Structures are given as structure tokens and as C-alpha cells.
Amino acid sequence: MHTVVVGTSGVTASDVLAVARGGARVELSEEAVAALAAAREIVDALAAKPDPVYGVSTGFGALATRHISPELRAQLQRNIVRSHAAGMGPAVEREVVRALMFLRLKTVCSGHTGVRPEVAQTMADLLNARITPVVHEYGSLGCSGDLAPLSHCALALMGEGDAEGPDGVVRPAAELLAAHGIQPVELREKEGLALLNGTDGMLGMLVMALADLDTLYRSADVTAALSLEALLGTDKVLAPELHAIRPHPGQAASAANMLAVLKGSGLTGHHQDDAPRVQDAYSVRCAPQVAGAGRDTMAHARLVADRELAAAVDNPVVLPDGRVESNGNFHGAPVGYVLDFLAIAVADLGSIAERRTDRLLDKNRSHGLPPFLADDPGVDSGLMIAQYTQAALVSELKRLAVPASADSIPSSAMQEDHVSMGWSAARKLRTAVDNLTRVIAIELYAATRAVELREGLTPAPATRAVIDAVREAGVQGTGPDRFLAPDLAAADAFVRDGRLLAAVEKVTGPLQ
């Protein structure tokens, strides 16, 4: 099994995906263990002094004015975890919790938190045993970090609360730890606070969304090319010299992908035949510009994610010179903004895909295709309601594009009077990415059927390969009306698991 070694200098997006989705094992480097021990010595020295230090010998948030005596400090750390584990609603996905735990471990291992090495090792042990704390949908405001979600994870380290075992069954965390020979941790000064103060949940969801969108944007280039072909459009608008004079890199990549998919097509260029038209509709002609803008948005989001992956987010932090200083690095604004930005791009990509689908189904705009791509229009409804489903999904995407990060609800008796709502931005982006997959699948379903209806004209080798592969996957083609939901589900799976791209790239080589 793949192993990810956590050091002091952060991790990569590939590391996050390997642990969250691939079940990779986690090990602490010798450098990380040494840094943990050195930082802990500083915290222990401060704890022994009479002067109050936030997070070490004081209360938290609005209660930070109280100095906590040594005999109550272990209880203080336990209490912050218990009281902050206040999430509600459905349990979030296993991959999200694993990403959150791993990213918190990454910061702990930086040597800036003052957590003991044995606590960090126990965090790794839970990941390696595939014990996943139950984390609920609601509870994070994205400031002071993802407090409630991280608290539910810290609670499991203490042997409290519920967790999901490797078999997917939820049990008391104490039982699962005992079954895997893991000793619950007894938290000491600062450790409870250090386990809660991070942007790890929203960051993990950002990393996974970027990975999914990388696949979906290339898939959308393929379905856009299929629709252009089915509508007898022109591929001249994809010429690289046209995109070079407006040098957005995402736009050029999208156009190049579409051109590669359409190479050798016998359907393109017929826009001057029976019903001459000078230009294709915007949803066809401007596909690279819209998809390209989304790609460039992803590039910015990836830059933010990489910076955050290299960061040590905690409050207070242990500095190399031995100082322990309070800060505001836990604020989720940088991550929240790009999560919302991506949701806007996702909504627009879904919107333009739906417009192409609608055009394929409308006999007045499809340039010779039967109404709704039906076998016997009137007797058959064809894909009429498939487009309704797609429209409903796009409408939901537009609602999900409303930014969460523009909101702020003060908390903690106005001590935490401005929050990022980054966790909420991440949760809605996950829903948006999921729905975008369905939108692209419906365009794929409509466009492949439309190409098949162009009798006497030969599709491009790449699009022919897609049609063959999608039919082999159980997505039926032309013919009388049938129960449509299974076809749409099969098309969704075909896009979601990467078979669409695999079919194309066997002909074109890797798309950009």
C-alpha cells in the first residue's frame, strides 16, 4: 500500500488524495518527530511559568481572560474538545473526514503547534486503522478553523464519541480504538486547542473538488465537441491562431481539446448547406471561452490550495525563536473565496452545456434533427424530460453559486465577530460538482444520439470511439421511448469514473 510520509514542510494535493480517497498509510518523518518534541518543550516551559499564555493556561475565545491553574488544565483541554463537538445534521463523507484528519496532522507535524509526538502518532494510527470519526454537516463557521468538525475528530482521539470502522459500521470510538490496539490520548496544555484550530475541512474539500473538476472540464470539452458535431457546426472557431490573440491559457487548452476530438469529422463544416448560417450559436461557438475561464479560475484556486497546504494554521503558534504568539491565520477567507469562485464557474459550465442540449432537441434550431431526438415524434417524447432534469440541475447550480463567503455571523459573544463561512462554501461546492457531472452526462447522452441520427455522415474517430464505448457501458442509443432513468444513470457513471476521457484519449492522446 502507498505510504505518505508527513514532514515539517507541508504536503501536496496528491498526498491528500492518496490518504483521503486511496487509503494510503501515513508515517511521521524523523524530522517531524524532532520538531514536535522541540515545540513541546517550549509549551511545557511556558506552562510552568505563572504568567498566563493563551491556549496554554487560559480559557478560550471570549473566556480567554481567565487564568487556569495547573490542576485544571488537562480538564480544560478535554472540555474544549467535548464542548466544541457540537455538530448536527447528516454525517459528512468518509473522504472528507480523512482529508480533514490528515491535514490537521500535517499542521501538527510542522512543529508550530506544541502538540506532543505521541498525539501526532495517534492521529496517524487512526488514519491507518481506517477509523473515521463521525463528523456532522453543520457546526463550522470557517473561523477559528473548522471547529466543530475538527472537535469530533479530536473526540475520537480521546476515545469518546462515535466513529466509523473500516467495515463502514458506526460504533463508539472507544470500542474501535481498543479493537485496533490504539490507546486514547490524554490531552495536555494547548493540545485540545491545537487539534481544533484549522482550515483543514474546507481545504480538503477544495483539493478534492479541484481533482474532480480537472476531469469534468476535460469531459465538458468532449461533450461540447460532440454537440458541435451533431449540430453540423464549424470547427474553424477552434483554430489556435484565433485563441492566441486573446491569450487566456484555459481558453486555448479548451479549444485545442475540442479540435483534437473533432479531427477527421465528416459532420463539421456543413453550416453552409441547406440552411446557411454565418456563425454558430454562442453556446457552441463560445464553448472554449466559457470552459477556459473556468480552467483559469481553477488555476487560481490551485495556487491558493498549494499555499494553504504549505501553511501551519493554528492559534497560538510556536515560533522558531521560542515565542508563542496569537494570530488570525485560522480565518478561512482565502479558501472560502476560491471555493465560491469555483461554484460560479461550475454553474456557468453547466448552464452552457444545458443550452447546447436544448438546441439539439429543438427542431427549429437543430438543423435537421427530429424533435427531441425522438424516434416517432408525437408518439415518442424522446429526450424531452431528460432536458427538464438537466435544467433542474442547472437551476440548482445557480443557487449553489451564491457565495457563502459574502456572509458572516458573529459568534463567541462578539469576540469572533467576523467569520469566513468557508466550510459552507466547500459543502455547497461538493454538491455543485456532483450535479455538474450529471449535467455533462445528459449532454453526452443527447449529443451521442444526435450524431447517430446524422445518417450518411461520418463522425470523427474520437467521437465514434465515445459512442461505441458509451453503448458498451449500457447507455442505449436511438429507438422508441423506454425507461430513461437507467440510461441517464449509466451515462453519469461513464463520465464520473473517467471512462469518457479514457475512450477519447485512446484516439487523441492526453487532453489538456
If we measure between CA atoms, which residue out of 95, 90, 101, 146 comes closest to residue 123? 101
Q: Among positive and negative, which fits the CA dihedral 336, 339, 342, 347?
A: negative
Outline where DSSP puts E strands in 99-165. 132-133, 136-138, 162-164
State the burial class of residue 167 (Cβ atoms within 10 Å of its Cβ: 0-12, 13-18, 19+): exposed
The strand pair at 317-318 and 162-164 is best described as: unpaired
Cis, peptide link before residue 316, omega less than 30° from 0: yes
Q: CA 370, CA 133: separation in Å to the nearest integer?
A: 53
Given a contact cutoff of 8 angstroms between Cβ atoms, the answer to whether 182 and 192 are in contact is: no
Q: CA 394, CA 212: separation in Å to the nearest integer?
A: 18
If we measure between CA atoms, which residue out of 309, 294, 109 comes closest to residue 203? 309
Give the phi and the psi of residue 171 in degrees, each rounded to 5. -140, 170
* Catalytic residue IDs: 54
Q: CA 258, CA 337: separation in Å to the nearest integer?
A: 30
If we measure between CA atoms, which residue out of 8, 3, 11, 42 comes closest to residue 309? 11
Residues 6+ apart with CB under 8 A from 207: 13, 16, 17, 99, 305, 309
In the three-class reduction of DSSP (H, G, I as helix; E, B as strand; rest coil), residue 88 is classed as strand
CA–chain centroid gap for 507, Å, is 29
Q: CA 314, CA 331: separation in Å to the nearest integer?
A: 10
